[in-house]
Amino acid sequence: MDKKALIVRFSSLGDVVLTSCLFEPLIKKSYKPYLLTYPPYGELFGDDPRVEVIQTKKEELFKNLERLKGFDLYLDMHKNLKTFMLRLILRGTWKSYPKESIRRRLAIRLKAFRRPYSVVEAYLKAIGEENYRPSIMLSEDRLGRLRRTYGQDYVAVSPGARYKKKRYPYFKEVILGLKREGYRVVLVGAEGECEGLEGEKLCGKLSLLDTAGVIKLAKVFVGNDSGLLHVARAVGTKAVQIYGGTHPTLGFSLFPDEGKVLFKNLPCQPCSLHGKGECRYGSYECLEIPPEEVIRLISQVNC
């Protein structure tokens, strides 16, 4: 490969993970993929020989532009003011994806704009490809170490999400039900997200890459519409995705072969683009999903 392609996606976790769907098609087109992102997201690709990561802090992005020059292709997977400035400064050949920003914002208010959309499929359109999936490669050494320490074939539960409207409130009941049915439960996520829950708690105890490894060793992953859900699909672990204040039309739903989606499809969903804020009705009806329904789908995915 004598050509280089720079994928630009600064944040957040799920969005960065989904850019991995571009690695294989770029390699097929004889490009060496590079990824420009913010820490800690680049850590996820520490074992992945397909991509080279350029990780930069927000405040240092424009301080050392020399390392960003000379790429044969630039892929703008963020499409914000910073990437617009990079385009002006770096020049070169840039491609981007159909972000559908206006349509997605209109979908918050108008049902007519809630149509199927996938960020993965949109990313691939930037390079004229389709039918690739996000993928994160993990070393056998890492997986062996994690397997010896934590075992495998458990249900990985990630109860966290950045915003309250995306956090399912009945994980405690789900975990108790899983344990009654004989499942072993391992909790993953950021520090503090496992408080008040039973199970083997690894929240805040692992690096991002080791967390990905623990998820890969699980038989099923269950979580909210948040970053670790996309890590699960990228490491090939079947998942159950619980929607709250967001909506599949925003682009982050699992494909059918990646697991199951729990979504009430209320008239008020989505109520915001990222799940920010409080429920306008105060009821959080979108998250009132019986724990038994979550457990049933976990059992289906595990078949």
Residue 42: helix, strand or coil by DSSP? helix
Cβ 245 vs Cβ 166: under 8 Å: yes
The architecture CATH gives domain 3-125: 3-Layer(aba) Sandwich (3.40)
Q: Is the pLDDT of residue 5 over 70?
A: yes
Beta-bridged to residue 52, according to DSSP, are 34
Model pLDDT for residues 194-215, shown as the tens digit of each residue:
999 999 999 999 999 999 999 9
Query: In the sheet where 239-242 sits, what is the strand order?
Result: 200-201, 185-187, 155-158, 220-224, 239-242, 259-262
From the candidate CATH numbers 3.10.20.740, 3.30.1280.10, 3.40.50.2000, 3.40.640.10, the one assigned to the domain spanning 140-301: 3.40.50.2000
The full set of domain ranges for the chain reads 3-125, 140-301
Model pLDDT for residues 40-64, shown as the tens digit of each residue:
999 999 999 999 999 999 999 999 8
What's the pLDDT at 18? 98
Residue 98: helix, strand or coil by DSSP? coil
Per CATH, 3-125 and 140-301 having the same topology is answered yes
From the list 264, 268, 291, 289, the residue with the least C-alpha distance to 280 is: 268
From the list 13, 6, 56, 60, the residue with the least C-alpha distance to 32 is: 6
As to burial, measured by CB atoms within 10 angstroms (0-12 exposed, 13-18 middle, 19+ buried), residue 8 is buried
